[in-house]
Structure 1
Amino acid sequence: MDFKIAATSAAISLCALAGSAQAQTSVLISQRNLSFDAALQAATTALETCRKNGFRVTVTVLDRGGRTRVVLHDDNVSPHTLENSLRKAYTSLTFRIPSGDMGKRIAANPTATSPLLLDKVTSAQGALPIKAGADIVGSIGVSGAPGGDKDEVCAQTGIDKIAAGLN
């Protein structure tokens, strides 16, 4: 009888230790994130590319948590591009897709518009997720060129500029 009690007590203790160890390992996590310097390089490159193409734009770069890292608002750009570049970047980050793909999803299934009811979500093209391997570490949104396809080209050049550091 004493042996059964001791064995049961030992089993309970082991389970408690295992549960405790499990809880301790999941208290903190490490995540890769976009540095300020990388965000600034990507934004600057995107802005310069749009300028070379004859467009004045606003560029917004978000980190993996959706926090704004950089906003560049060029001279003589409409004020709405500030919000639009943020919404594009936010959509790309949270849905892990180019922002224009949201528009394609909704066009393919017009009854699935509920994501557009969320704050800061848009179906406008012009933002891309920034990936380090399989991890999304941020996003870049551009607004102001005459068409989201042109905004997206500028965003891609920003990502290309920092690509070597993402691997």
Structure 2
Amino acid sequence: MTRCLGALLAAGLAMAGLPGTGAAQDTAGEDGAFVTFRVLKPEMALKAAQAALEHCRAEGYQVGVTVVDRFGLPQVFLRDRFAGAHVQDTSFRKAWTAVSFRTGTSALHEETAPGTESFGIRFLETALPLGGGLPVMGGDGSMVGGIGVSGAPGPSLDDVCAQAGLDAIEFDIAF
């Protein structure tokens, strides 16, 4: 009886497509009822945040940097010693916005200007369409996180610092 139950269980697992059972994945990368996705390891999130902070510091800016995962949840926050109190919230909201809308926040700033069809996005509680937030894309084009910088003298300079963070991990996430 036990051997029969074991055989039925093995057959059921194989038909359910659980990992390790030899079931083929479809072209969307899904395996049965599950979706496969990637997120940055904490070490990569930290490396990106440190590079962005160091770039801003070298330019004379005191900033805060937040790296979020693909779902907008914070992985890392770094604040330089003289950065304003607002940088934690602002850098998080920029990173969250970049992930949520899958675009850089400078582009979203233009797309949500008053009088545009998407102007209402500016009224979402967490969204912040202001330069300094960039999506982090894996080498296969998948969203793996977002980075937000706040505290440089202007949003375009926040963008430059955020890009320095992405540049620091570009090789690590390219494959």
Bucket of the pairwise TM-score, normalised by the shorter protein: 0.7 to 0.9
Match of 2:166 among 152, 159, 167: 159
- Report the Cα distance in structure 2 between the residues aligned to 1:76 and 1:166, rounded to whole angstroms: 31
How many angstroms does 1:78 deviate by? 1.0
Q: Does 1:53 align with 2:59?
A: yes
Q: Quote the sequence identity (%).
A: 37
Paired letter, 1:143? S
Once the two structures are superposed, residues 132-157 of structure 1 have per-residue CA deviations (whole angstroms, 9 ceiling, x without a partner) of 12101001000000001111111111
- Report the Cα distance in structure 1 between the residues aligned to 2:60 and 2:122, rounded to whole angstroms: 31
How many angstroms does 1:112 deviate by? 2.6
Higher mean Cα deviation, 109-118 or 132-141?
A: 109-118
Match of 1:141 among 141, 148, 158: 148
- Report the Cα distance in structure 1 between the residues aligned to 2:150 and 2:165, rounded to whole angstroms: 14
Indicate the SS of the match to 2:65.
strand
Matches within 5 A, 1:1-167: 25-107=31-113, 109-132=115-138, 133-167=140-174
After TM superposition, the score normalised by the length of structure 2 is 0.79
How many angstroms does 1:117 deviate by? 2.1
Higher mean Cα deviation, 111-120 or 32-41?
A: 111-120
Structure 1: segments with no counterpart, 5+ residues:
1-19
Larger Rg: 1
Structure 2: segments with no counterpart, 5+ residues:
1-14, 18-22, 24-30
Indicate the SS of the match to 2:113.
helix
Once the two structures are superposed, residues 4-34 of structure 1 have per-residue CA deviations (whole angstroms, 9 ceiling, x without a partner) of xxxxxxxxxxxxxxxx758x94322211111
